[in-house]
C-alpha cells in the first residue's frame, strides 16, 4: 500500500483502486491537484466511496508539525516535519513585474544532503533520507496556499534541500505527477532541476525525463578548488560533467544555466574567470552569479566564509562578459528568513 495517494500517477491509482471504474482515478487525481485535505471534500464521489477510501488509504503525507516564516519581500518559507521526524524546507519566491507578479516554488527532494558543500547550510546537516514523491508534491500543495493571486500558475524549481539526481526515481515520479494532464498539467519547461553536477544523473535526465530545464551548481571550474568546496562522489570530475552537459544538449534539451555561488576572496580570481570561460566552450549556457548568502558557522580552510564585495562581483562579471559569456546576477530574496540559496536547514 502506498504511503499516500498523492504520490501516485493516474494509471497507478486506477490499478490500486480496482475494480472501481477508471474514471474514478481521474476524479481523485483532479481533487488531489486542487489541494483537498480529505476524501470528504471530493464532492463528485459517492459518500459510501469516500468512506471506503478514507478507511483504506492515506490521501496526503502526515505532517506532524509545520512552521511558516514570511519575509517582507513576499518570500514564504515552510518547514514540514513528516511522520518519522524528517524535516524538509520549501520556499515561495515572489517577483513583482511591471504589470504582474510571478511566483516560483522551490522544492526539496531530500531531508538534509549527502554532498556537504562547505558554503551551504543544508550540506552542514548531513543526510537523513530521500523524500517520497508524495512528500515532494506535498511541499507544492502547502506553498501554493500562500499565493496571493490564485489564478497565476507558479514555476517549479527543484533547488531546495538535497541533491535531486541522487533521488532520481522519486524525482521522476514527482515530475510526472506535476506534468500529468489529470493532475497539475504542467509544461516541463515550467520546471527546473538543479544539481551540483552528478554526471550520470544528468544523462538520465536527458534520456528518461520530460524536457525540464537544467541548472548546474558549478561554483568554480577550477577542479582542485571545486573538490574542496564541493566534495562530490567519485566519477563527477569537471571533464565528466562537461561530457554529460554536451550529451544533454545533444538530446535537444535546450539552454543550461551554470550557477556560481561567489565566495569573497575564494572563487572570484582571474584564474576562476578563465576556467569558467574554458568550461563554457561548446555549451549553450547562461552563467548565473549568486553572491553568497551568509550562514553563521560556515568556514573554509580555517576562515569564516564571507560574501564578495560589490566591486569583486562587478569585476568578475565584467571578466566573463568580456569573453562573450551570457551572464546574469541573481537578486537576493528570502535572506531575512534564511530562505535564500544555500540557507535552507536553519
pLDDT at 47 over 50: yes
- Highest CATH level, class, for 5-56: mainly alpha
Q: Exactly one of 117, 120, 275, 341 is catalytic; name it.
A: 341
Instruction: Decide if pLDDT at 235 tops 70.
Output: yes
What one-character DSSP code corresponds to residue 147?
-
C-alpha to C-alpha distance for 67 and 344, rounded to whole angstroms: 13
Give mean pLDDT, residues 331-337: 53
Work out the percent of the chain whose per-residue pLDDT is above 90. 80
pLDDT digits (tens, 9 = 90+) for 211-220: 999 999 999 9
For domain 64-337, give the CATH number. 3.20.20.70
Res. 338: pLDDT tops 60? no
CB under 8 Å to 27, separation ≥6 — which residues? 42, 44, 45
Please report the pLDDT score of residue 337 as a whole number: 47
Please state the rounded mean pLDDT for residues 91-100: 83
Q: Grid coordinates standing for 134?
A: 508524495
pLDDT digits (tens, 9 = 90+) for 104-139: 999 999 999 999 999 999 888 889 999 999 999 999
Give me the pLDDT at residue 2, please.
Answer: 63
Annotation marks residue 89 as catalytic: yes
- The predicted model gives 151-172 an average pLDDT of 95
Alpha carbon distances (Å) from 81 to 63, 152, 219? 6, 28, 31
**Cell numbers 561567489: residue:** 262
| DSSP result, 16-84 | HHTTS-THHHHHHHHHHHHT-SSGGG-TTS-HHHHHHHHHH--SS--EEEEEEEE-TTS-EEEEEEETT
Residue 79 has pLDDT above 90, yes or no: yes
Banded model confidence at residue 71, pLDDT cuts 50, 70, 90: confident
Handedness of CA 307, 311, 312, 316 (dihedral sign): positive
Catalytic residue among 12, 15, 89, 179: 89
Q: What is the pLDDT of residues 2-34, one digit of tens each?
A: 679 999 998 899 999 988 888 999 999 999 999
Domain-wise residue ranges, the chain = 5-56, 64-337
Query: Can 120 be counted among the known catalytic residues?
Result: no
Amino acid at each position: 500500500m502506498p504511503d499516500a495517494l498523492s504520490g501516485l500517477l493516474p494509471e497507478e491509482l486506477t490499478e490500486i483502486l480496482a475494480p472501481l471504474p477508471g474514471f474514478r482515478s481521474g476524479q481523485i487525481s483532479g481533487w488531489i491537484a486542487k489541494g483537498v485535505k480529505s476524501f470528504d471534500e471530493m464532492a463528485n464521489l459517492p459518500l459510501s466511496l469516500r468512506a471506503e477510501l478514507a478507511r483504506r488509504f492515506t490521501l496526503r503525507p502526515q505532517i506532524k508539525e509545520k512552521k511558516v516564516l514570511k519575509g517582507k519581500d513576499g518570500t514564504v518559507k515552510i518547514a514540514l516535519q513528516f511522520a518519522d521526524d524528517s524535516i524538509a524546507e520549501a520556499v515561495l519566491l515572489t517577483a513583482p513585474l511591471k504589470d504582474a507578479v510571478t511566483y516560483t516554488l522551490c522544492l526539496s527532494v531530500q531531508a538534509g544532503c549527502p554532498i556537504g558543500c562547505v558554503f551551504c547550510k543544508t550540506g552542514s546537516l548531513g543526510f537523513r533520507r530521500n523524500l517520497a514523491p508524495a512528500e515532494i508534491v506535498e511541499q507544492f500543495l502547502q506553498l501554493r496556499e500562500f499565493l496571493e493571486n490564485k489564478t497565476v500558475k507558479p514555476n517549479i524549481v527543484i533547488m531546495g534541500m538535497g541533491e535531486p539526481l541522487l533521488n532520481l526515481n522519486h524525482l521522476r515520479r514527482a515530475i510526472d505527477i506535476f506534468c500529468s494532464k489529470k493532475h497539475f498539467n504542467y509544461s516541463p519547461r515550467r520546471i527546473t532541476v538543479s544539481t551540483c553536477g552528478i554526471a550520470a544523473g544528468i544523462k538520465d535526465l536527458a534520456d528518461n525525463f520530460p524536457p525540464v530545464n537544467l541548472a548546474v551548481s558549478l561554483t568554480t571550474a577550477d577542479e582542485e578548488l571545486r573538490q574542496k568546496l564541493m566534495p562530490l562522489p567519485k566519477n563527477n570530475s569537471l571533464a565528466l560533467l562537461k561530457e554529460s552537459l554536451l550529451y544533454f544538449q545533444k538530446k535537444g534539451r535546450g539552454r543550461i544555466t551554470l550557477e556560481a555561488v561567489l565566495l569573497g576572496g575564494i572563487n572570484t580570481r582571474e584564474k576562476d574567470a578563465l576556467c569558467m570561460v574554458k568550461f563554457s566552450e561548446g555549451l549553450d549556457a547562461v552563467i548565473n552569479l549568486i553572491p553568497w548568502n551568509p550562514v553563521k558557522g560556515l568556514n573554509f580552510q580555517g576562515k569564516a566564509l564571507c560574501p564578495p564585495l560589490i566591486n569583486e562581483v562587478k569585476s568578475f562579471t565584467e571578466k566573463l562578459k568580456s569573453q562573450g559569456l551570457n551572464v546574469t546576477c541573481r537578486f537576493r530574496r528570502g535572506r531575512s528568513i534564511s530562505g535564500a540559496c544555500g540557507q535552507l536547514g536553519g
